[in-house]
Amino acid sequence: MEQVSSWRAHGGTQGVYTHPSISTGTPMTFSVFVPDHAPGARLPVLWYLSGLTCTHANVTEKGEYRAACAARGIVFVAPDTSPRGDEVPDDEGYDFGKGAGFYVDATEAPWAANFRMRSYIESELPALVGAHFPVDLARQGITGHSMGGHGALTIALRNPGRFRSVSAFAPIVSPLSCPWGEKALGGYLGSDRAAWAQYDACALIADGARLPDLLVDQGEADTFLDGQLKTHLLAEACAAAGQPATIRMQPGYDHSYYFISTFMADHVGWHAERLSA
C-alpha cells in the first residue's frame, strides 16, 4: 500500500492510498479519514460506497463528513467504484464498465477478470484497512449513494451480523426492476435473472435477509426517483417483512452531493449511536 496524499482536517488526517488488488487484478485507490485518537485506540469504521461515474474523490472532496466523524471518533473509508486501467474492459455508456462496477463479482466475459468489486469490498479491502489503520472491525457501519447505496444495502444483507448500522442516500433499491440494474446485472452476470437476486435489496429482504435497522434519505426532486431508484419498492419490502426502516423523503432535494452533504452529518451521528458500544 502506498500513500498518495495526506492532509490535516477537522482534527484528523485525510489520506488517499493505492495498492495492487488481488480481487480486481488492478491498482485500486481509496481514501481514509482518521480522527485524532489516543495511542493504541481502535475506532469504529464507516464504509461509504459511491455511485455511478464516481471514484473515491467525489465524497472525499464534496461529502462534508470530516467534522462529524472527528466529533464522533469514526474512521471513514471511501473506495473506488470499479477497477481502472488501460487493460480493463469498458463500455461507451456511463452506466456500465469503468465507474459502474455495481459491487458485483462478474461472471461474464470480458468483465469477470477484473470486475470483482463484491470480493474487493467484502473481503480484500476490510483486511487491508484492518491491518494498516486503527479500526475496530467489530464496530462497522456501511452507507452509500445511488449505485453505492445499492452496494451498501446488499452487502449488509448478505453478511448478517457484520454491520451494526446501515444507511443509504438515494439507493438503487431493486436492480431487478430498473434499466440501470437490468443493463449492469445482465452484462456482468448473464441472462439468468435468478442469479441477480443476490444483488437486489428488495429480493434479499423478501427472501428473509434482515438488517438491525436502516436509514434512507431520498430527495423528492431527484430526476432518477421514478424510473431508476423506485424507493417505494424498498418501503413496501420492509413493511411486508417487518424490517425496521426509517425512509425519509426530502422535499426539494435532488441526486447531487448538495443533497448528500446536507444529510451526511445526520447519517454519521445515526451510525455513531449504533457503533459506540
Instruction: Specify whether 217 is catalytic.
Output: no
Report how far residue 90's alpha carbon sits from residue 154's, in angstroms, rounded to the nearest whole number.
24
Q: Are 5 and 136 in contact (CB under 8 A)?
A: no
Give the largest CA-CA distance in the chain.
52
Instruction: Specify whether 255 is catalytic.
Output: yes
Of 78, 66, 1, the residue nearest 34 (C-alpha): 66
State the catalytic residue, choosing from 105, 165, 222, 267: 222
Q: Are 249 and 146 in contact (CB under 8 A)?
A: no
Report how far residue 9's alpha carbon sits from residue 23's, in angstroms, rounded to the nearest whole number.
31
State the catalytic residue, choosing from 56, 150, 255, 267: 255
C-alpha cell at 177: 426492476
Which residues is 219 bridged to in the sheet? 250
Query: What sign does the CA torsion over 67, 2, 103, 164 have?
Result: negative
Residue 7, Ramachandran bin (φ over 0: left; ψ between -120 and 50: alpha; else beta): beta
State the catalytic residue, choosing from 146, 165, 167, 174: 146
CA angle 38, 9, 61 (to 5 degrees): 130
Q: Are 169 and 260 in contact (CB under 8 A)?
A: yes
Report how far residue 123's alpha carbon sits from residue 143's, in angstroms, rounded to the nearest whole number.
17
Q: In what order do the strands lie in the sheet with 215-219?
A: 2-9, 12-20, 27-35, 75-79, 43-49, 135-144, 163-169, 215-219, 246-250
Active site residues: 146, 222, 255
